[in-house]
Every structure is written in structure tokens, then in C-alpha cells.
Amino acid sequence: MKVFEAMAQHNHEEVVFCHDQDAGLRAIIAIHDTTLGPSLGGARMWPYKTEEEALQDVLRLSRGMTYKAAAAGLNLGGGKAVIIGDPQAQKSEMLFRAFGRFVEGLAGRYITAEDVGTEVRDMEWVRMETQWVTGISEALGGSGDPSPVTARGVYHGMKAAVEEAFGSPSLRGKKVAIQGAGHVGYYLAEFLTQEKAKVFISDLRPQKVEKAVLQLGVTAVEPDKIFDVEAEVFAPCALGAIINDETIPRFQFRIIAGGANNQLKDEKRHGKILKEKNLVYAPDYVINAGGLINVANEIEGYNREKALKQAEEIYPILKQIFEIARREDVPTNVASDRLAERRLEQLAKLKRMHLLKTPKHIRGKRYDW
């Protein structure tokens, strides 16, 4: 592996390779950019085929967290961790506590959380070794399930996209096709039905769809038919890479606004195609930032109402992005990158001014100098 070349490609600050033979730990922590604050990003556990594949994934994901935090207006940098292993067979207390000790060794430069393949219980094991962890249970002072906050952000982001397309943020009477009836998709459907939108929903798990139909009165759609629904809004809340050469020609939507990650299979090419087709696309890492906002609130002491209120601010952020896209004649995913990059550039200038921090041993004492 040419590690330094891979880091230099997107200017990563630090990569830490973690190994504990007794615990069976093989992990990589990547810190992309700490201009805005300590890096925060989840720890993903996945059976990567090669170490090179794991490295490329953690570098890509950590960079994405920098942009997500910057665009959301958070004072956090971008980081991520990957643990190489099968989450169904190789989890143990020892493994996650060993990982926690490596996180502790970074002294707050990286704050971890749950991600694909990890869960609240795993983060509680990590917490036994370090304070630099979020996404723990409410019983331990954490935030618990982030889905309601994520869904609240998607809902308000969708209203911004509807206003961009139709001149009004109202969703009343609008038809919305939701792909994915999991936690985020379900809560989003709940918000939409309360506003009297007409909701269509699909999922690979029939029981999830049945629950939404029975409890919310939405319309069930077969998973492979969701792209063909005649609706104003498409809300992908499940798989990534679902905006691609095969699905785009089937779209009858005017807006794409959902909570799934990595929605564009080819960011550059498919973002441009959406612009050419005059589809309003709410960039995924902006509209789904409620999850990051939720765990970020744990750092200063969690308050659910504060987190929900912050998630609502995704609405004006997306309004800014749509304005940049119009003014600079670029796809909205390019506009969101520019918004994030400009915030990073502006706040980086503050670091040129040195601030003297009082040493801990003399704080609160009076000296006549």
C-alpha cells in the first residue's frame, strides 16, 4: 500500500493502524481535517477482502464526514474508523475495549460512534476505555436512537427542496415515494402523513411496509416498482448508489430528497444528469446530517429538543445550496461541496491568530505580573 500517496490525494491529516492480537483487533482510524474541531465519525465493522480496500473506505468516509460537518455548521472535523472483521461472528467485549484504548490514545482528536456493523452495546464497551465516544444509550447519558432526529432533518430539507421546485414549502397534497421503511423512513412517513402528503413506501422487508401501512395509512409499493411511481418527490432512505444509469430514465419525480447515504452512483456524472433533467436534488450528506447533529450534541451534554431544533436548520442550509447552484450554474452536489469548502477556508484563517491558553495549574489563581 502507498499510504502517503493515498492520504495526499485528499489531504488527510493522520491515519492510525490499530492492532491487538489477543483481542483480534485490526482497525484503521482516519482523521481527514480538524480545521473546525475534533474529528467525529462512526466505527464501521466490515469483512473487507483486503487491507487496501479497508484503507480506501476509511479515507473516503472520513473525508465525507468533514464535508457533512462543515455544511451542517458544526464545529467538528471529519474522521472515521473501520474495524476489519465479520460483525455477525467476531464481535467481543475485548475487541471493542481494545479499539477504545486506541481512540483514547488520540486524546480527543477523534471521537467515535456507531456505524454500519456496530451498535449501541459496542459503543458502551468502547466507553469503558475512553470518554471520546458518542451514540451510547440514554441510560448512560447518551442520545439513544438517532432516527427521529435524522428524519426531522430530512423532512425539513424536503420542504426546502419542494419550495425550490414549486415556490412553496408545503407538502400538503404532494405525492412522496419513500424507498426504505426502516427507522428513518418510517419516521419520515409519519411527518409527511401528518402534513397530509400522499405517501408511497417500499422495503425489502415486507413486515416493515405492513407496519407503515397499518399505522400510518400509506400505500405499499413493490421494491422494484418504487422508481416508477408518479410522484413529485422521491425519498431514498435505504440503499446507496440508487441514482444511476438504470434508474434515472425511470424517474417521473421532480425532487430527490431522502436520508440514504451515497445516493449518486457517480457523483460527478449523475449529479450533472440530474441538473440537465431539471430535477431538484438535495445532497445526501446535507439532508441526512441529523444523525451527526444528534451524536454531536452528546459532546456537550445531550438534549433531544436542542438536537431536533438544530436538525430543522437543514432547511436554510439547503436554501443556501440551491442559491449557490443557481448563481454558479452547477449541480447541487457541487454547490454543497463549495459551501463546505468555503466554510473550511474562512475558519482556517482564524488559526493564524494565536490565542494563549492559561495552563491548568494557574487557572483561577491571581498573579501580579
* Residues 39-81: tens digit of each pLDDT: 999 999 999 999 999 999 999 999 999 999 999 999 999 999 9
CATH superfamily of 3-66+75-136: Leucine Dehydrogenase, chain A, domain 1 (3.40.50.10860)
Q: What is the pLDDT of residue 220?
A: 98
**3 state DSSP class of 113:** coil
DSSP per residue, 349-361: GGGGS--PPPPGG
Domain 147-316 annotated CATH 3.40.50.1820: no
Per residue in 236-273, pLDDT (tens digit) is 999 889 999 999 999 999 999 999 988 999 999 999 99
Per residue in 206-222, pLDDT (tens digit) is 999 999 999 999 999 99
Residue 36 has pLDDT above 70, yes or no: yes
Same fold? 3-66+75-136, 147-316 = yes
**3 state DSSP class of 4:** helix
Q: What are phi and psi of 175, to 5 degrees?
A: -95, 130
Cell of 112: 467515535
State which H helix or E strand residue 233 sits in: strand 233-236
Cell of 324: 449557490
Q: Where are the domains of the chain?
A: 3-66+75-136, 147-316
Q: Which residues contact 25 (CB under 8 A, 6 or more apart)?
A: 18, 19, 83, 95, 98, 99
Q: What is the pLDDT of residue 359?
A: 64
Instruction: For residue 211, indicate whether it is catalytic.
Output: no
113: left (phi over 0), alpha (psi -120 to 50) or beta: beta
Catalytic residue among 80, 91, 175, 198: 80
Q: How far, in Å, CA of 224 to CA of 228, rounded?
A: 9
Q: Is residue 51 within 8 Å of 41, Cβ to Cβ?
A: no
Q: What is the pLDDT of residue 306?
A: 92
Q: Is residue 165 within 8 Å of 255, Cβ to Cβ?
A: yes
Residue that wins the pLDDT comparison between 140 and 187: 187
